[in-house]
Structure 1
Amino acid sequence: MNLFLTLTGFLLAFLVNLFFPQVAEGVKLKSYTFGGIAIDDNLAYRLVLLALALYYGIYRLVLFVKKADQEKINKFGKGAKFRFAIGIALALWDLLGTKLLVLPQPFFPGPAVIMDAFLGDTAFIWKNTLYSLRLFVAGFSVGVVTGVLTGVLIGWYPKARYWILPVLNICGVIPAVAWMPFALTLFPTSFAAATFLIAICSWFPVATMTADGVQGTPKSLFELSRTFGAGQLYQIFHIAIPHAMPQIFTGIMTAAAFGFTTLVMAEMMGQPGGLGYYINTSKVWSAYYKVFAAIVVMAVLFSAILKVVGVVQRYVLRWQKGVVR
């Protein structure tokens, strides 16, 4: 039943696009040739809908074949209504934004029109996506590493906490974009400046959560380790940091959201590439279907980043399985 509900939403959106006539005039739907096969915007949109339905169908089949545990099956079932609603929303959007042209244009193009950006601007979108990913990884990595180091210093050494914590509290509340004029002056390239902005907004949540985790380590663990001759470095790396890992990953998840927001803002304010830059250039020409395409890519990219962080988190905190609900 859950699979049927999931597939029904996307298939309804498919049928609406296929059989509902194009009532409104003035809608430009282009056609492109790939490998000798002609694909227009409507066909590309239908293929995406079929791909989504096929993905969820195969995923449910894999759960059945592998005899997955009930928790995974229940998780898939809980999302069925939401996926059905997405299909209905896409069908309505197609009707109002393309078929009937009720929504104000060019600000709210239909999904088939948005597909034109992916068909006609494939190489440029891919290039800007890679630029954004490279910039995010650079800034986020620096922010996480410096955040963990700062948090350990604050959480372990009282003198470091006395001097660094006020600086952390002051800098942490300042929006990263406010540092942009100074970053552009201090760093030789706009890429380095944007890396700094992403790093500083990622640094604050990671440092704060790491410090809380280290400080919250039970003193009994340190006393027990000292009875076995453990030194300070051993206590930091084998007791304090492992104990703080859940909090550290909470900070990393928060930092990922802050960092991605700063990434887009930085790209819209002076970067020579990236998805934010792509949005700016598209907006100048009122190509709002390209703006929507960039937003879709951002959503997919950020979801993928969170997925990667989640996989690393589950691996590092695998000892929690069966302990924490």
Structure 2
Amino acid sequence: MSGTDISLTDRIGTRHPDAGITRRHPAILPWLPGPVWLADALVTWRWPDADDFPDTTLLAILFAVTGIALLTAAATGVLTKRAPWATALGSGFGAWEIAQAKLLSLPRPFFGTPQDLLDVFITDWHRLGDSLLHSLGLLAAGYTVGSLAGIATGIGLGRSKRFRYWVHPVLRAIGPLPPVALLPLTFVLIPSSWLAGEALMALASGFPAAILTWSGIAAVDPAYYDVARTMGARERFLTLRVALPAAMPQIFVGLFMGLGASFAMLIIAEMLGVKAGLGFYMQWAQGWAAYPNMYAALIVMSLMCTGLITLLFRLRDRILVWQKDGLKW
């Protein structure tokens, strides 16, 4: 290929290896987010607010700093893949600022301004952080206990006929029930609202872990057990070194499903019984019509859930090395 052909290919685009189509990467795209965020800063600073909103100057400074950082990232070449998202976020913040802070076109107090949201993080960060720690503590205990109990139950169901005879009917009767349906009964039987929430989250995470662990163990090729037995392996070795590693992909599916169910049960328990955490904070904010506080709690909750799922994916990629490129988060 001649030098002319190479330069022509570089100007037109690169060929995507999976889709087999040509994708264009305009050179201007990485430079677009910075001016968008700087324009947000200019609009926020120079266009008078429709009301007396807090922290307008600080918000303009944050927009400007973000724009400068994005321009620096574009100059260093690290913004190519994230440039469309950075542009979309900047455009969204700019549209929100104009629509609400400058024109008040959305009904208040249900829709606040970017200044209101920023003010919540500045003035109420301590309560938000305390709520986050309470939610993490409640979730960690319930999810961990439920997952470990579910994996142990799934191992018993997959390896012991007697265990399966007695436990399987109970699992079929109780497991499919939505944990929230047991909320009134749980708070009656368990005097502590904290323990009741833990029990419901353990149930929410334990059922999918048990079913998927059982499914993974049941799918193990019997030839693996025969080979291990011919080498003198006992039942404990067959369970821990043959069945459990082979079932790991299914077990992680159950852990992901249980984590999502635990998130839902966590917020319900905090709203209805546990007087702490992000769910309780959201209910408090709604009761006082402090909707910016509620939106701030939603952002913190989203970051918490995304972070925990990311950690679980990292653990999965570390254990299932041969599958780490198959699914990304």
The equivalent of 1:8 in structure 2 is 32
- 2:258 matched to 1:233? no
Moved more, 184-193 or 292-301: 184-193
Separation in structure 2 between the aligned mates of residue 302 and residue 59 of structure 1, nearest angstrom: 30
Separation in structure 2 between the aligned mates of residue 2 and residue 53 of structure 1, nearest angstrom: 21
Gaps of 5+ in 2: 1-24
Q: For 1:95-142, what per-residue CA distance to the aligned partner results, in whole angstroms no more than 9, with x for missing partners?
A: 223222111111121222111111110111111110011101011101
Moved more, 286-295 or 45-54: 45-54
User: Residue 6 of structure 1 contacts residue 83 of structure 1 at CA under 8 Å; is this kept in 2?
Assistant: no
User: Residue 268 of structure 1 contacts residue 277 of structure 1 at CA under 8 Å; is this kept in 2?
Assistant: yes
Q: What root-mean-square deviation, in Å, do the aligned CA atoms of Structure 1 and Structure 2 show? A: 3.0
Moved more, 170-179 or 313-322: 313-322
Separation in structure 2 between the aligned mates of residue 215 and residue 17 of structure 1, nearest angstrom: 59
Where in structure 2 are the equivalents of 1:104-253 lying within 5 Å? 104-253=107-256
Separation in structure 2 between the aligned mates of residue 265 and residue 223 of structure 1, nearest angstrom: 48
Cα displacement (A) at 1:258: 0.9
TM-score, length-scaled by structure 2: 0.82
Cα displacement (A) at 1:44: 4.3
User: Residue 53 of structure 2 contacts residue 116 of structure 2 at CA under 8 Å; is this kept in 1?
Assistant: yes
Distance 1:153 1:252, change over 3 A: same
User: Residue 24 of structure 1 contacts residue 98 of structure 1 at CA under 8 Å; is this kept in 2?
Assistant: yes
Separation in structure 2 between the aligned mates of residue 112 and residue 2 of structure 1, nearest angstrom: 34
Q: For 1:156-176, what per-residue CA distance to the aligned partner results, in whole angstroms no more than 9, with x for missing partners?
A: 112322332232233232211
Separation in structure 1 between the aligned mates of residue 287 and residue 245 of structure 2, nearest angstrom: 50
Separation in structure 1 between the aligned mates of residue 199 and residue 68 of structure 2, nearest angstrom: 41
Q: For 1:221-274, what per-residue CA distance to the aligned partner results, in whole angstroms no more than 9, with x for missing partners?
A: 000000000001100000100011111111111111110111011111121210
Larger radius of gyration: 2
- 2:43 matched to 1:43? no
The equivalent of 1:35 in structure 2 is none
The equivalent of 2:314 in structure 1 is 311
User: Residue 7 of structure 1 contacts residue 57 of structure 1 at CA under 8 Å; is this kept in 2?
Assistant: no
User: Residue 267 of structure 1 contacts residue 276 of structure 1 at CA under 8 Å; is this kept in 2?
Assistant: yes
Cα displacement (A) at 1:88: 2.0
Moved more, 187-196 or 123-132: 187-196
User: Residue 267 of structure 1 contacts residue 273 of structure 1 at CA under 8 Å; is this kept in 2?
Assistant: yes
Distance 1:242 1:43, change over 3 A: same
Moved more, 256-265 or 155-164: 155-164
Amino acid at match of 2:32: T
Amino acid at match of 1:261: A
Separation in structure 2 between the aligned mates of residue 23 and residue 186 of structure 1, nearest angstrom: 58
User: Residue 201 of structure 2 contacts residue 262 of structure 2 at CA under 8 Å; is this kept in 1?
Assistant: yes
Moved more, 161-170 or 41-50: 41-50
Distance 1:19 1:48, change over 3 A: closer
The equivalent of 1:68 in structure 2 is none
The equivalent of 1:258 in structure 2 is 261
Separation in structure 2 between the aligned mates of residue 49 and residue 129 of structure 1, nearest angstrom: 29
Cα displacement (A) at 1:191: 0.9
Separation in structure 2 between the aligned mates of residue 4 and residue 177 of structure 1, nearest angstrom: 51
User: Residue 139 of structure 2 contacts residue 201 of structure 2 at CA under 8 Å; is this kept in 1?
Assistant: yes
SS at match of 2:247: helix
Separation in structure 1 between the aligned mates of residue 321 and residue 95 of structure 2, nearest angstrom: 43
TM-score, length-scaled by structure 1: 0.83
Amino acid at match of 1:183: T
Moved more, 121-130 or 41-50: 41-50
Q: For 1:280-303, what per-residue CA distance to the aligned partner results, in whole angstroms no more than 9, with x for missing partners?
A: 111111010000000000011111
| Larger RCO (CA under 8 A, 6+ residues apart) | 1
The equivalent of 2:50 in structure 1 is 25
Moved more, 313-322 or 292-301: 313-322
User: Residue 198 of structure 1 contacts residue 263 of structure 1 at CA under 8 Å; is this kept in 2?
Assistant: yes
Gaps of 5+ in 1: 31-39, 65-72
SS at match of 1:108: coil
SS at match of 1:25: coil
* Identical residues among aligned pairs (%): 30
User: Residue 285 of structure 2 contacts residue 291 of structure 2 at CA under 8 Å; is this kept in 1?
Assistant: yes
Cα displacement (A) at 1:10: 6.4
